[in-house]
Chain A
């Protein structure tokens, strides 16, 4: 059976416990929002196929446990990922403060050319907001990342966020395709473009490049 995708890569969701990583993922892959899902233990993952610039991109998204002691487990997956979502909760100053810790861990354990994106989740909870949008933008600029405020609850900016990171990863890896092949990273491979009927939905990827908040 031929592969139903052209490129496969792995994205990783990082952030404090309870910021809504699993909810973001469920919203993106199944377009569902469960206010109560079980807490993630260790690492979990889901799959989704996107089509970006005519390329079928299969992404495996790893969802991680936020509690600190799980980091010894989750860190082992950093180096196998091509893109990372750093997620905080706009209603929790604390989770925002911790982004720097997460970012420095990524710098330490992830491959150098890994792409990162900053996500401020729960943008629907305006009344409880503790972290201003400007703070998010500033931090993202400091790290040279894109920044989105999202809401898994209202489905705000979800597809945009995932598609943006996927695009960035694709762009980063397209340049170094040969290099990647040489390095033997099997997970990323450009299969021959096959004319095969896909069942995959088309992801919107034509949003403006300005501010996505």
Chain B
């Protein structure tokens, strides 16, 4: 209590000290403060009175305690108030800071507002300037544009008329071109007819010369003149005459259209034949092929290559030949039909065999390599040593030698494979074609070690020849002509390189479908076709010579086909089979005899050598040792 009052007085004493320094403070405030001090003093006096009034020491104690408690409360309140004041001061500072920040914001916003207003003003200025000047320029450009549009419309009109004019010109020109091209085709046709006529006339002329030369009654001077004429005609050259037209030298498969003749003695005859082939080709290009293509197109329409099924209609069509545009498709089907089961069993057969031939050396590869460059040498696709066809051929033949180790490789198979490659345009299909021909169409042992079945077929052919062409057969026998000298070749390679390409392919069309009977039919038809010519020749050697190349002189393929398939009828398959079996048996027996003889010869030789010819033998032994 005392302490409190002392501080209070201290405060009071302080105030009069402050007052004189603060003159500006109004007197009321001083009064008020004094009032308050007074009030406090009165309060103090009252409480002192209460304290004094208290009856006993106890009461005074209670009172004092009460006051003490009160004083403590007040002190707490004061403390709190001071804390609150501190807080308030802090918050005030915060607020001040906020206010300052807000002031800043306001300043910035004002600045921004000012700039924006400036922009607005500027834009407004521009707008007004634009509005004031724009109206005028717009109307100007619009008129300009309208003017331009007008001009363009004019131009368009002009162009339109021009186009109309040009169109009519174009139409007229097309018309002119069409008529002229029609004229050209008719002229070409005329030209080819005339060339055909020329060829015919020339061949007739050469024929007459040839007959003249054979005429005994000719005087030496006349004979000399005739010989000179022939020499001139041959020198003039086949090529000079034939190259005049636009026909090609090679067909679509790369074969020469007019085959070459190498026989020296036959050059004149060869030229006559070449001229005839040429004239025949020129005349028949149009007439024969068109209807054939039509029939095939009709037959193949709507058929996929897998569902061509055997039928008499197909057989007839194949005998007539497949047009070039369908041949690859038809052959592929024929080959597939013949090799179906084998291919289903081994779908990757060709690839596997190729890998095998790459991996391991093949005993046949030496002979294959030797023959590669001796295959269809006059064909464009095989004539160049770097031609890819040769490598394809090598792979096909090597693969086949693994496919059929009993045959391996036989000279002649190269020609079959080459033809298959040319037509089928696929190595794998060509391989299967070779398989079809060798393993499926031709009899077994056709190409094996002794070519037995091939030899038997020659005897079968001779049987048929004496039966179908008895006059010719007798004539050949009379002059001891051995037809197998030429026919063995025909059969072994199925006429590849023996017939002009168009005939060869037609033969193969039927051959792949009907089998080797076709080869017999054609062989007989060839003899029939030239029967009269052969009958005229009365010398065995000359007949041989004639037979060697006459197959390449066939001009009328249609006639040959018709002889093969109608004149040679009946041609029962059973008869062919029976004759084959018969001759094969005979051949085998003969071969056995031959082997026996050989053994006999060897043993005989051995004993002879041991006894008589010792000296000769010694010499031979020496030379052999040194080799």
Binding site for B on A (CB under 8 A): 1, 3, 8, 17-18, 26, 29-30, 32, 34, 36-47, 58, 60, 65, 67, 69-70, 72-73, 96-97, 100, 108, 135, 138-139, 141-143, 186-187, 197
Contacts and interface: CB of A to CB of B under 8 A. Distances in A.
B377 A1 contact: no
Contacts of A67: 367, 410-411
A180 to B, nearest CB: 16
B541 A47 contact: yes
Interface residues of B, number: 51
Contacts of B540: 187
Contact of A36 (B383, B497, B619): B383
B544 A45 contact: yes
B627 A70 contact: no
B627 A65 contact: no
Contact of A72 (B455, B492, B545): B455
A139 B625 CA distance: 11
A23 B232 CA distance: 29
Nearest to B545: A47
B371 interface: yes
B374 A38 contact: yes
Given A39-B411, A70-B411, A73-B455, A60 B544 contact: yes
B376 interface: yes
Q: Which 5 pairs show the lowest CB-CB distances between chains A and B?
A: A142-B623, A39-B374, A42-B488, A18-B370, A36-B377
B443 interface: no
A36 B385 CA distance: 9
Chain A contact surface mostly = mixed
Contacts of B622: 142
A60 B383 contact: no
Contacts of A70: 411, 451
Contacts of A187: 480, 540
Contacts of A97: 627
A41 B265 contact: no
Given A45-B544, A73-B488, A100-B624, A26 B262 contact: yes
A186 B451 contact: no
Contacts of A73: 451, 455, 488
Interface in B174-214: 214
Chain B contact surface mostly = helix
Interface in B607-627: 619-620, 622-624, 626-627
A138 B626 contact: yes
A69 B541 contact: no
A62 to B, nearest CB: 8
Interface in B576-627: 591, 598, 601, 619-620, 622-624, 626-627
Given A29-B264, A60-B541, A141-B619, 11 more contacts: A26-B262, A36-B374, A41-B489, A42-B488, A44-B489, A45-B548, A46-B263, A47-B545, A70-B411, A72-B591, A142-B623
18 contacts: A1-B214, A17-B370, A18-B370, A29-B264, A37-B377, A39-B374, A41-B415, A41-B488, A41-B489, A42-B488, A45-B544, A47-B263, A70-B451, A72-B450, A108-B601, A138-B626, A139-B623, A197-B223
Contacts of B373: 36
A57 to B, nearest CB: 13
Given A38-B374, A43-B485, A69 B451 contact: yes
B190 to A, nearest CB: 39
B377 A186 contact: no
Contacts of B374: 36-39
A67 B620 CA distance: 26
Contacts of A65: 411
Contacts of B223: 197
A41 B541 contact: no
B414 interface: yes
A69 B627 contact: no
B558 interface: no
Contact of B451 (A32, A45, A72): A72
B609 to A, nearest CB: 12
Contacts of B367: 17, 67
Contacts of B448: 69
Contacts of A139: 623, 627
Interface in B471-520: 480, 485, 488-489, 492-493, 497
B375 interface: yes
Contacts of B415: 38, 41
Contacts of B385: 36
B412 interface: yes
A152 to B, nearest CB: 14
Interface string B400-412: 0000000000111
B449 interface: yes
Interface in B525-554: 538-541, 544-545, 548
A37 B262 CA distance: 11
Contacts of B538: 1
A142 B450 CA distance: 31
Contact of B627 (A34, A44, A135, A143): A135
Given A17-B367, A67-B411, A139-B627, A41 B262 contact: no
Q: Which of the listed residues A32, A39, A40, A141 has the most CB atoms from chain B within 10 Å of its own CB?
A: A39
A72 B370 CA distance: 21
B544 A39 contact: no
